Structure 1
Amino acid sequence: MRKGKYIELKAYRARCELNQEAVGKMIGVNASSYSHKENGTAAFSLEEAFTITSKLNSILEKKGLETTNMEKLFVRN
């Protein structure tokens, strides 16, 4: 599997004003483990990707911002 960072995921996390620790808590991991996932050195499970996408979209909707999807968030750059 190709390694790379999840640039879109990081950008949407920032739009939602969340740090890595907060998103890590959403999926039950600590900030360090989440950082490894976001930087492409560890894999996200399908369940984790779904949870993150759902929670980010909920925040984006509340802010009146455009939502996203898993395909966009979880493309490695």
Structure 2
Amino acid sequence: MLAIPSNNLSVLHACSRARRTPFPDVYPYIVARIVQIREHPPEQVQRVPGARTIRAFLLRDQEQAQLGVWIPCSVATL
């Protein structure tokens, strides 16, 4: 890219920053736990839990730790 003039923008069209591999699928157990936590929140939560709270409970879940399944990092995914 150093040999190409700086005013030639056609070089940038071939350098996509888009993700090349798909995100891993969310394990059905995780989906079921998310729904369960949202519909029946733990006693210490006196409200409908949001995405960050759900993620915190998922990280503390013993069954999830034993299964070793992927938990979405983004709160938008939850």
If the length of structure 2 is used for normalisation, what is the TM-score? 0.36
If the length of structure 1 is used for normalisation, what is the TM-score? 0.36
Which structure dedicates a bigger proportion of its chain to helix? Answer: 1
Higher relative contact order (CA 8 A, sep 6+): 1
